[in-house]
Every structure is written in structure tokens, then in C-alpha cells.
Structure 1
Amino acid sequence: MHCQADGFPKPKISWHKPQSSVPAMRSSVTENNSLVLINVHSYDSGAYECRAESLFGSAAAFASLVVRVPVRFDYVPPRKVYVTPGQSIRLRCSATGYPQPTITWSRGAEGLPKGAYFSNGTLTIKDISDVELGQYSCVVRNILGQKSYSLALAYRGKVTSIGYGVEVREFSDLILNCKLCFKLGAKFNFTWSKIEGELPLERAYQTGCALVVSNATMNDTGKYLCSGRSVDRVSDESIRAILEVTVIGAPKITTLFKDVTLVHPGGDLELKCSAVGPPHPVVTWTKGSQKVLTNDSETAVLLIKKAGKDDEGEYRCYATNYLGEDVVETVVYLIGLMSTNN
């Protein structure tokens, strides 16, 4: 953005962004007083003020910046949506971008079934029968391009086996066996999938009736579906088994701390420490070798009121369960006394 100003004495030119600020780390002003922004973001949009000032007064001019942003999905349904005959369903698809993206739904060359309609990105299908099943696509576009997302609408097969809960240690191999597959493997072709998520393709593979997920992580927690399709007729999943998996491991502290925490003498200080399991962690604060707070919940908040010299020192947060522990620490100093302590 360019700006020129004349006068005697020569005016000083500066750039401002009303009700916000010019991003100092991503901006510079050239010798001819042009404002340069690099790595522009959507939030850089808005009015910019060029202000010229001298001993005899000031003048201002304004420029407006509009940042165009490619489309990006911010919500999509699961890749496979199960329904029952006669059910009605709403499938929401939304996206961001600038200009505001348009959202449309389609179903291949067939087009949308009779009675189906979409509004504000949501596709509504009523009184579902066989003709409504199939592959649907949500397409979002603006002048910078478009993206599409596809899903399958299928009948919910009969659940002949509700599986069992499985616990596996983090970073070990998760092995799931499908009992239905062992019993009916000759009559059905079985596949594995994860409900409300996707299998980690780089770590998951099927061997016979079993699903193996190597080097399990907390993200592998969830429900897994073993689906069987008849080998002698065309239909969607007709028998299914569901197994619920919980990946357990040592706790992880999710709160970030600075090496040094400063507080004004007489001021209040809140040290908040949060951790996740499972198994459920116990969170403890210590000062030096002394415990100062223990909490059975996943968050422990240590409140120091009217901080004084005795409150300075090394504070540690421990999160523990029977599989291990995690620890973070910070050193508390009173502002104005830090140099003498060092």
C-alpha cells in the first residue's frame, strides 16, 4: 500500500490500523513510505491509515485491504452414514473462505432423489427408502477454487453381536478379533472400520478375521466395527459386531508453563495444571520437597494470594496414575527481586 505526502518541513509518515494494530513481525515500511505486509492472513483485512505529521499539523488517508481466502471445510459428516428405512436425516456441510463459499449437494449422474433438498449447506432427506441410498457429495466453491467431500448413505445392518471392551497399553499393538468372522467367515466377507473416525492406514491392517493396529496411540480409542457382506447376494452390511477400545497409558500434562513465572509483591498468582489419561490421573503441586496441593480431578489450581518472599521458589506439577507420571516445573519470582535472587 502506497502513501505520499508533501509539505515543508517534510512530514513524517506512519502507518496505523484503526481498532487494531499493524502486525509488526510481518510488516515493513519502504523508503518511499509504502507499507508492505508478508504472509497475509484473513484477519489482516480492514482499513489502514497513512498519517502524515509535521510541526504545522497532520493529515491522513485511508486504504482498504481485502484478503481473499481459499475454501476450507470446517464441518463434514462421517464418511459413511447409516440409516433405517423410513428415517429422515439432515447432513450438514459447512466451509469457510472469502468470498463466502457457496455449498451444493449432488449424487452422481442420478441427481438428488425426489423430495431431497439443501439449504445453508444442510441436505435434508425424508422417508428414506432404497432409492435414497448411495454416494453423496458436498461441493464448496468460491472464486479461488473448490473442494468436494463424499459420503455413503447405507442401511444400518442388523447388529448380531455387541462386542466387548478392550484395553490396550499405549505404544503396544492393538489386536481385535471378530467372533462373527470366525463363525461365519465362509458365508460372509468381513471388513473392519472405525465408527466416527478412520483407521490409521499407515499402522492398521487386517489379517484373517483380526484387525491389527500397531503402536497404538490415544487417538485409537473408540468403537470399531466388524462388518460382514453376504458373498451370494448384493446388499449393504447385514451383520456387524462392535468392539469398544480404550488405549491407556501414563498421563500427559497438557498445560504449558514458562521456565520463570513472575508475580508482583502482594499480588495474586494462579498456577493451573491439567492432565489427561486414561487411567484417570491424580494431579499434585509441590514447592521444593513439600506437597502443597493434591487433586483427584484432571486439573489442579494452586492459588497464591498476596505473594511474598516466602512464596518464591521452584514449583512442580505431577500427574500420576498406575502406569507412570508426567511432570512440569516453573520457578516463581517476585518482580523487582529476581536479580538479587539470581
Structure 2
Amino acid sequence: MLTESAPLLHYQFIEQTIQPGQSVSLKCAAVGNPVPTLTWLLNGLPVQRSDRVLVGEQPGARGRVVGHVNITSSRVQDGGAYRCIASSSAGKVGHTANLNIYGEPTARHTASLTAVAGEALELYCPVAGYPLQSFLWTKDGVTLTGTEDNIRLGPGGTLTLKSARKPADSGLYSCSASVRQERSASAAVQVDVLTAPRIALVSTSDGGVEAGDRVTLTCTVSKGDSPLTIMWYRDGIPLPSHGSRTDDITIVSLNAYNSVLGVERVGPRHGGRYSCRASNAAGTDVLAYSLVVNGTCQLLQMSGHGGGGGGGGTKVKDIDSFSSVLTLGPLTLDHVGRYSCRASNSAATVEAGADLTVNGKVVLMLHDRRDRQD
């Protein structure tokens, strides 16, 4: 069985200096389990695709992935600090190098940026051109010298907020860059410091419930700036929006910070992992709750090659209150892992597990564990 491994970059692009009009290709390759996803940034913002700028990636064997940014007929605005980030559920790693394109100072189109309160934020001078010799930053019209408590001015015209403060560090940041004193350009970027969401999840039950009981889950966003988006999921699948009723599950929005999920009459089909996800421009928070309906059998956990989850073709069907069937197929390496089923009532809990190995043949090794209550 393959275990999770954090992404590792095994090929990285290098700094290059070119003339406008030349074509260039930046390549980044990573490996990990699960297979990492590659993200490309230019001066801290996502690389904008166009008919001249192509961004893509191609998966390889054994958890490898190769990504590229291909630029044809390059322009001065295509230059800057490019960063490749490889990320997965097991971790994240990145690499940054400059693409220098000769040209006079040219203002870039800038969008507003969101800083997360308490976290660092690095700003790049929104002026393209090479070589640039001097930089001048202002905030809301006041010149920044780098001696301020929360600001660090770095090489290449970068400005770092060491720990973004709300609202002190929100404002309009402007940078002027020049090749020589008589040739310069300036541009500004609006920075808004926001607090990321934090969730408190309250339940009317404590893990296990009896069939026929009522269950209420309340998702309260205890902190975080508006506007907020609150979503409910069951076993990773989004549930319908607020004000809807599906499969005897009702979701009601009390206000912008509180959402309630209720089940009027719990049955075997309602067992599973429920999660509430709250997000805003600063980030996302998720809190989960496992609902176990006593007297039913549920799939507890699957893990294996490719990040687990049991792979495609996995189905769980409740036959009645006393029987549940797990069906897998067609089998692939993604199905490798340990599968567990737990049946419980007020008197006892019984759990059976199976280790599934796929290697030309299927081998099941069963283990029973009984936890009886006094």
C-alpha cells in the first residue's frame, strides 16, 4: 500500500533574460502521493492565459506531473517573478525565479488584493520593465521608507507586510519604478485586510443516534468578515442550498453567520460525515461531524493509492436496518486500503475490517473487534 508523501519538485525553471518578441518556456515538474496539482503565479497573482500565454500540465507515471508556461511573442508585461506551486492534501512546495524582459518601465494592470489578518503578505511593484534601478512605495500618499514596524522593503521592489493588521494596513499602495531618473512609471494596488472564517459546530446529539430521532446541526461562524458563503456537505457531496429540503434533510439560514441543518426523522440512509464550510475572500474553514445511526452498518474509512477514497465504482447500499453492502469495481490500485464496517446499538458496538490488496488478485484479510458496554 502506498502512503501519502508531500510534493517534491524534481525539475525547476531558472532565471532568464530575453528581448521582447522572443518565445520562452518555463517548466516545473513535481512528484508526490496523491499526484500534486500545479499552480502558476506571476508577481503573486495567477498567470493570465491568452493566445500568447499557454499554461498546462501533464500527469506522468508514479505520481509525477509536469507543468509549463509557454510564451510566444513576449512583451515587457510578461516579465516578472514566476512561481510554480505543487500542492496536494499531503503538503505544498514552491519555486520562484525571474523572467527578465528588456524594456522601458510600464505600468501593469492591477487588481485588489486580500491580506489575511495576522499573516504576511508580499507585494510586487506593479511596474514591468528591465532593468529597473529604483523603486519608491507610498501608502495612501505617504512615502514608505522600510523603517515602519510592520513593513519590510526588499530587493526587486518588493514590499512585505510582516503581519497584516486590520484596519491599519488596508489602503492603496503605489509603487514608482525607474530605469533612469527621466524614465519611470507607477501603478497602485488596493489591499484589504480581512479576517478569515472560524466555525463552531453544535449538535443536538453526541455521535450516535437511534433511528427515528431528530438531529439538528448548527454551523456558527464565530469570526470572519462578510460577505460569507456557508455550504453543507455530506460525505464530500454538496447538499442543496439554504431553504431547501432533500431526503428529509432541511437547511435553513438564520442570518449571515448561522446555518442550521436538521433531520426530522433519522434513518439508516442519513448516516455519514456532515461538514460545514464557510469561506470569504480571506480563506475557508471546515468543521465536520460524523452521524452514526445505531443499528446500521456504515463505511467508516477508506485509504489507499492515489489519496484514498476507494476509487471509482464504489457504492454503499443499505438493504434494511440490519444489512449494508459495499460494492467495488472494476478494481484498480485506487481501491487498495482498509475498509471498516461498524454496527451499534445501545448495548454494544461491533466492528469488522478488511484490508484490500490489488495485485492481480484480490486478497481480503478480516479482523473483528467488539467493544461491549457495561
Higher strand share: 2
TM-score, scaled relative to structure 1: 0.29
TM-score (norm 2): 0.27
